[in-house]
């Protein structure tokens, strides 16, 4: 199936992101633990796919909190070498390996490290935009990053 790209304004982007996230409402600790295990499995698949091409914590990070019980994961990219279409294709390939991968949303913020010696995040990184992937669809927030795509 072909990958689709959509560039959305802020309002449409946030609305679509909210609509794509499948919420789970566990009623007891057993259900919560089963969902946490599933989230860990999905996170591990994505992280392993990325780590086959790039360096964890230097080029990318996959979010690690497990208090949200939705089919939503997130991550960041931090280097120029991962700031490319291969990253998107790698995430989609990882989601394709997951039985319910089309139900998951993977949200990425691009914060490229431009000054590793900076004392604050603002001094160290340059925001390049954000996007989320759901069901082989890449939804890009219309901002500086999307200008190079249009």
What is the reported pTM?
0.89
Q: 23-54, pLDDT tens digit by residue? A: 888 999 999 999 999 999 999 999 999 999 99
| 107's tokens | 């949200």
H or E segment and range at residue 109: strand 105-113
**Could you give the strand order of the β-sheet that contains 105-113, starting from the edge strand earlier in sequence?**
4-8, 137-141, 125-134, 105-113, 72-77, 60-62
Q: 10-21, pLDDT tens digit by residue? A: 999 999 999 999
């Amino acid at each position: 199936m072909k990958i689709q790209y959509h560039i959305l304004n802020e309002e449409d982007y946030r609305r679509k992101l909210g609509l794509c996230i499948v919420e789970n409402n566990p009623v007891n600790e057993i259900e919560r633990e089963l969902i946490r295990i599933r989230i860990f499995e999905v996170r591990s698949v994505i992280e392993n796919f990325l780590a086959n091409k790039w360096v964890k914590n230097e080029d990318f990070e996959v979010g690690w909190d497990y208090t949200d019980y939705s089919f939503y994961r997130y991550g960041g990219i931090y280097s120029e070498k991962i700031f490319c279409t291969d990253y998107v294709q790698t995430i989609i390939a990882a989601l394709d390996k997951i039985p319910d991968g089309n139900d998951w949303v993977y949200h990425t913020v691009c914060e490229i490290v431009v000054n590793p010696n900076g004392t604050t995040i603002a001094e160290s990184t340059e925001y390049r935009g954000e996007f989320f992937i759901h069901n082989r669809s890449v939804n890009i927030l219309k901002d500086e990053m999307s200008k190079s795509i249009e």
